[in-house]
Structure formats: structure tokens, C-alpha cells
Amino acid sequence: MIEAGSLIRSLSGRHAARNFHTFVINEIGRAIISGEFPVGSVLASDAVMMETYGVSRTVLREALKTLEAKGLVEARPKVGTRVSPKSRWNFFDSQVLAWHFHAPADPVFYSNLFAVRAALELPAVEGAARHRTAEDVRIMKYWLHQAATAGDSVEQFGLACLEIHAQIAEASQNTLLRGVVGVVELLLALALTRQPETLQAYCAQSIENLEAVIQAIEAGKVDIARERLAEGIELDHRRIIAGS
């Protein structure tokens, strides 16, 4: 697992401190998701990968175990490590989602992501409007201010928006709905890197929508909160699909 916000931080070139284990996981994971290592293909031998990535056998084996736990590969006796069918991939894993940012644009996959986001986040915002506390609202307003004052910082804007969505999920009091955060982060990262000529207008519209959502949550207006969040989801959808 990776920390929420890691993908958005990487947009400005700032990455979390890495170690050999995470380096190998990221290199192989991205290659699988991008299709460089196709489904059904067998990865190179341990000796070749150890030389390629400059790591020990222990580090490589641990990395492959992590990838296997995510459903991306499977080790077979006398065959080697094979890339698993997509049906076995854990698409709710934050790293697996983040690796899709580097993959070729796939409008069908993006539309599926939005369907999942709506299925999770619309019930979350309804729950937030019913169960929010004063502290929930305070946190949302704080991050809204951070987004509104981000200026040219894509990182600050993206992280602030992500925190708002995370707090909506938290305020819903349904722990299962927190799984939407990884999906939201990938879609935010995609939206922030599409159509740069209209980025400022997109950010302004996003802030307006989020402000309306927070006001509706604070007032306990369930239908309005759902409606305005749906508008924000559609804004992201149009932007990403048009820029793909």
C-alpha cells in the first residue's frame, strides 16, 4: 500500500523516499499495467531481474510476493512468475490504481472508474449529510480554503481536493465507502494533467462545486449534496474523456 496523495505529489516531481523494495515493485507493477509485460507472459529469470534492477534475490523475491498479493503475478513451479489475467488484479489497491496513471489512455477503463466512483461516493455524500459532525465540516472547509488559495500549485490543489473527498467518506460513518479514495485520487491526477489550457477554469469550477457540496452537507440537505457532487463527478468525467 502507498500513502494517499502519493500519486498527486508525484505530479510536481516530488516522490516519497524510496527503497529498493518499493523501487522494484513500482518498476514491475507499472510495466504490467502498461502492457510492457503482457498478461500471460512469463517474467525474466531471477538472475536477469536482479541484474536489471540492481537488487538482491531477497529484495526481488519480496517484491514479487507483494505483486502476487495484489493479484498481478503468480509463481508456478518449473514455469516461473507469470503475469495474471486482469480478472485477478486488485483494482481497489491504491498502487494498482496509481500505476494506471502511467498506462496508455483507456476511455473504457476511465468510464468504468467513474461508474465505481459514483456507486461509492454518492452514498458517501448522502451519509455525510446525515451524520456529519461540526469537526467534519470544519476539516472540509479548511481543505476547501487550501484548494482555493493553491494558486499555480497543482499539488496543493489536488491534495486539498483529495482531503475533502476523504473527509466526506469519513463523515459518512460507513468504513467500506472509504475505498473510494484511491479511485478519486487517480481520477483527480488524470483531470489535473489533461487540457492544460483550461486547467484554471477547471479548478475554479471544482472549487465552486465542492463549496456547494460542503454547504449542503453542513445543512443536512441530502439531495442537494448528492446533486452537486454528481455535477463534480461529471465535470471530471468530461475533462478526462475529452483529453484522452
* pLDDT digits (tens), the chain, 244 positions: 567 788 999 887 755 556 888 999 999 999 999 999 999 999 999 999 999 999 999 999 999 999 999 999 999 888 899 999 999 999 999 999 999 999 999 999 999 999 999 999 999 999 999 999 999 999 999 999 999 999 999 999 999 999 999 999 999 999 999 989 999 999 999 999 999 999 999 999 999 999 999 999 999 999 999 999 999 999 999 999 987 7
Cα 208 from Cα 215, distance rounded (Å)? 11
Q: In this predicted structure, what is the pLDDT of residue 3?
A: 73
Strand spans (E) along 56-115: 73-76, 80-83
Q: In this predicted structure, what is the pLDDT of residue 16?
A: 53
Phi, psi angle pair for 215, to nearest 5°: -60, -40
Distance (Å) of CA 192 to CA 12, 119, 154, 160, 198: 11, 22, 7, 13, 10
Q: 94: which 3 cell numbers?
A: 491504491
Cα 65 from Cα 71, distance rounded (Å)? 10
Q: 97: which 3 cell numbers?
A: 490504481
Q: In this predicted structure, what is the pLDDT of residue 14?
A: 59
Here the contacts of 160-166 (C-beta below 8 Å, separation 24 or greater) are 161/188, 161/206, 161/210, 162/4, 162/5, 162/8, 162/188, 163/139, 164/140, 164/210, 164/214, 165/121, 166/4
Q: Do 241 and 193 meet the contact criterion of CB atoms below 8 Å apart?
A: no
Q: In this predicted structure, what is the pLDDT of residue 15?
A: 56
Q: Helix, strand, or coil here: 73?
A: strand
Cα 223 from Cα 221, distance rounded (Å)? 6
Residues 6 or more apart whose Cβ sits within 8 Å of residue 146: 156, 159, 160, 163
Map out the domains of the chain with their CATH numbers. 6-88 (1.10.10.10), 105-242 (1.20.120.530)
Q: 214: which 3 cell numbers?
A: 460542503
Which contiguous run of DSSP H or E holds residue 241?
helix 222-242
Q: In this predicted structure, what is the pLDDT of residue 109?
A: 95
On whether the pTM is more than 0.85, the answer is yes
In sequence order, what DSSP letters do the residues of 173-196 get, joined into one string? T-GGGGGHHHHHHHHHHHHHTS-G
Q: What is the DSSP letter of 105?
A: P
Which amino acid appears at position 89 of this protein? W
